[in-house]
Structure 1
């Protein structure tokens, strides 16, 4: 019974999006596929537990209690907090958006990159990423860097699922993506050019294996016209990945 309630509560939480962070009970019912009567009962429980909060016009939003609990995750308490000074240094060296992402892979075919940290400035190129946002592996720099850490069996299953076009330049052919992954392994960093957002370029590198944490990668996103000097940007990103790996593995030495 408790398991069923938990699953239904999660089905409600999953329907909130960047575009629709506040929803009515009817919208929650429609998007989750749950009966409206069940949704009303869940809302009462979730409001009491702080999982939902009330918003204007009879709408609901994700509650502060979930944010509070989420901050206890190792992704926040260990990885992101340790990463912040390294991300700031990378931003200061490049002036570009800096992203930190981890691999979320309930199964390889469903895997994606979850952004756990982001630093940007007024002069940085606009991006669609946000902390907590989820993006495809094949179309993002950090995603390709994460793919380069996976073994052949994992990649085989991942590539068995269709790769969606994010822009007209997204790489959706498995053979071409495999070549990109091999190139990233050889060079130590991955790149994208207008594959997630037209006009943008990215460089990213994977961190080393970290105990208790999923695979992670750090990268920058810049305007294509300003970022063609790959030889300058790639070493900065790779050094940031090495420094951050060392900092997470040996926190007492920092």
Structure 2
């Protein structure tokens, strides 16, 4: 397998623009699991393209010790509970699982879902997760080195598993480090998820392009993804100009209000024509 096989999000329209997709990150905090499951079903019914969760052990906002659920067991359940949407973590923390084990987990969820998994991965940053679950937090440099070591090991393990994945599982790398994270993205990823406003995304996207040139990769084979928390008419045009093709709305519990997500789905449908 090679990183040159990009997911559906990388395909272009007839005029050369990237195909537009909309995702939602349902943050598994402050809610009973039944409500999370209902939100997944509501998002799929609304027409979202991808449903993400996140890989943390405690809430990031609100009550620090509020309700929270684990990422990958949840993805296995979502694989059975959905039929159309792609699913994944935005993003898996590389430091919590051996790369070979993570590869096998991803392959298994890929099969359960019928080939709808995206492997989102990053170096990790939330110290409480590391400390309370017994992982070495290390330094930013050591965590990034671990990510660089893990990505080829994951791909190598996929090639050795029996049965193999149902498809070349798309890899999404999240983060904006220009020297290391974006280099790893150029070498191994199909999707890059960035953070910040359109100007920041555009700058880091140009850095990613340069890394792609260095490693002999077509920059157009990597989808540019961004989180959005504003209405389409406020930010969509600038993000499109920055090259973004995947727009992901973060939604937290306990209510999981999908109103903004539905606005973005309507915008996508209008753009697709």
TM-score, normalized by length of structure 1? Answer: 0.29
Q: Which one scores higher on RCO, CA 8 angstroms, separation ≥ 6?
A: 2
Bigger-Rg structure (1/2): 1
TM-score, normalized by length of structure 2? Answer: 0.28
